[in-house]
Amino acid sequence: MTIAVIQFGGSNCDRDSVQALESLGFDGELVWHEDGLPEDVDGIVLPGGFSYGDYLRAGAMAAHSPIMAEVREAASDGTPVLGICNGAQIGCESSLTPGAFTTNESARFQCEHVHLRVENAETPWTSQYEQGEVVELPIAHGEGRYEISDDRLDELEAEDRILFKYCDENGEVTPEANPNGSKHSVAGVTGEDDHIAVMMPHPERATLSDLGRTDGQGVLKGFAE
């Protein structure tokens, strides 16, 4: 299976994503955004980084680059799409997924490990986990606070579109365990269909066993679902 990892100017988790995907048996293909989406890709990763220097808003410029029209078209035809960190910001800015990721409550860049509770284990991205399971993944972002209207968030909760919530090591969702002030502690959501998803934590940085924990493997294995 070939998974395209889209490189924008300022992406910096693109090669990590390819390496993580290849360790799981996928063919990871770096795709420069100006080259357009290759035909016959089986999945798409929007990787982390600082596309276009985060000018205007994180992800805003990349969301309007021509390749994103191709990504949206592929997504609507059923191709799985996963946005990670800056890729999550791009996903929301391009309306692949609802809401917005904006400045952390701390107003600081935060780079740390967090615990996440699996909110819906029936999506391709979470089916490797148990419902309510606690996983540990790294975050590295300055604009990861999930914002959306209260009504819309209630709808997303009712539709089981929340993938993960920030929690403590026991799986309790508390304000103290919420690293960035995200509404309802949301760390990742799905699009209209659950083959489209975005998340701020980095599964690709917790996939290679040489680097420690491998809790992120389950997310990337979603491309094979």
Partner 1 sequence: MTAFTATVTIRLKRGVLDPEAETTQRSLERLGFDLNDLRSADVFELDLDADSAEDAAERAEEMAERLLANPTIHDYDIEVAQAE
CB 163 within 8 Å of CB 199: yes
Q: Is 160 left (phi over 0), alpha (psi -120 to 50) or beta?
A: left
The yes-or-no answer on residue 73 being catalytic is: no
Residue with tokens 């205007």: 56
Q: Which x/- pattern, by CB under 8 A, does the window 84-123 give for partner 1?
A: --------xx----xxx-xxxxxx----------------
Helix (H) or strand (E) holding 100: strand 100-102
Nearest by Cα to 147 from 195, 113, 111, 97? 97
CB of 102 to partner 1, least distance (A): 6
CA dist 174 and 204 (Å) reads: 26
Nearer to partner 1 among residue 133 and residue 147 (C-beta): 147
Region of 10-18, 125-133, 144-152, 161-169 interacting with partner 1 (CB under 8 A): 144-152
Which candidate in 85, 92, 143, 167 is catalytic?
Answer: 85
Asked whether position 145 contacts partner 1 by CB under 8 A, the answer is yes
Q: Are 195 and 124 in contact (CB under 8 A)?
A: yes
Helix, strand or coil for residue 115? strand
> Is 76 a residue that touches partner 1 (CB under 8 A)?
no
Q: State the minimum distance, in angstroms, from the CB of residue 178 to partner 1.
A: 12
What residues from 153 to 192 belong to the interface with partner 1 (CB under 8 A)? Answer: 181
* Binding of residue 60 to partner 1 (CB under 8 A): yes
Residues that bind partner 1 (CB under 8 A): 56-57, 60, 64, 92-93, 98-100, 102-107, 145, 147-149, 181
